[in-house]
Chain A
Amino acid sequence: DSGVTQTPKHLITATGQRVTLRCSPRSGDLSVYWYQQSLDQGLQFLIQYYNGEERAKGNILERFSAQQFPDLHSELNLSSLELGDSALYFCASSASGITDTQYFGPGTRLTVL
């Protein structure tokens, strides 16, 4: 158990819908990262938050957004969903510094029908 929690574990929805994925980092970790894992793109970085502020953006679509709350939990919002958004979405957390390891949550498997 990495100490990172993600809910829900599975999510099935229809095209055009909006969903919210939730992540709670390990106790004391200030950084939260979101990654997407799909068969064709592999594992890709989406976005990072550090202590409530957006720190870096990767290959995140404009239909996707995220935030980190004062209690450090984070939410990833996916809207106007398309079939191609079906993937495993991971949240990872780290303490803060460059040598800190990122520990991954169990992931949320999103299926868009």
Chain B
Amino acid sequence: AQKITQTQPGMFVQEKEAVTLDCTYDTSDPSYGLFWYKQPSSGEMIFLIYQGSYDQQNATEGRYSLNFQKARKSANLVISASQLGDSAMYFCAMRGSDTGAGSYQLTFGKGTKLSVIP
């Protein structure tokens, strides 16, 4: 079974500073994918960044980067130059294939609430 752990229920960061949101995972599947989603107070789930288990380099998307440490089973999200609009819940999720061919549902962590202070 797959498991995602996000140990920080809430975090504060000063505007324009960088922040790291922690995510550790557990899986026996050699092939998996790791995702981060953002959920603002309006409720929608917004895809931010993806890292495949076989990717050699850490993923980056604009101000978002994923610090992938496979041996430690961690996939931390780094947001650089925080903005007020970054205030939201952030979810780490994993997709594996050990549930059967063609079924790639996501397993989510409990999320981290990020608050950006002006």
Q: Which residues of A contact B (CB under 8 A)?
A: 2, 31, 33, 35, 42-45, 48, 50, 55-56, 58, 88, 90, 92, 94, 98-107, 109
Beta-carbon contact of A98 and B104 below 8 Å: yes
Q: Which of A2, A102, A109 meets B106, CB within 8 Å?
A: A102
Contact residues on B (Cβ < 8 Å of other chain), bracket = 20 to 34
Which 9 pairs from chain A and chain B are nearest by CB? A56-B103, A104-B45, A43-B108, A45-B105, A106-B44, A55-B103, A55-B102, A42-B110, A107-B43
Beta-carbon contact of B44 and A33 below 8 Å: no
Q: Which residues of B contact A (CB under 8 A)?
A: 31, 33, 35, 37, 43-47, 50, 52, 91, 93, 95, 97, 99-100, 102-108, 110-111
Shortest CB distance B74–A (Å): 20
A44 to B4, CA, bound (A): 12
A residues near B50, Cβ cutoff 8 Å: 99, 101
Beta-carbon contact of A98 and B33 below 8 Å: yes
Main secondary structure, interface of A, reads strand
- Chain A residue at smallest Cβ distance from B52: A99
Q: What total of A-B pairs shows CB separation below 8 Å?
A: 64
> A98 and B97 in contact (CB under 8 A), knowing A2-B47, A104-B45, A106-B43?
yes
A80 to B52, CA, bound (A): 40
Beta-carbon contact of B95 and A98 below 8 Å: yes
Q: Which of A58, A88, A101 meets B43, CB within 8 Å?
A: A88
Shortest CB distance B28–A (Å): 16
> A104 and B44 in contact (CB under 8 A), knowing A98-B33, A99-B33, A99-B52?
yes
A56 to B99, CA, bound (A): 8
A residues near B93, Cβ cutoff 8 Å: 43
What 4 new A-B contacts, CB under 8 Å, besides A35-B106, A43-B108, A98-B97? A48-B104, A56-B102, A56-B103, A109-B43
Q: Which of A42, A101, A107 meets B108, CB within 8 Å?
A: A42
Beta-carbon contact of A45 and B43 below 8 Å: no
- Chain A residue at smallest Cβ distance from B31: A98
A56 to B47, CA, bound (A): 22
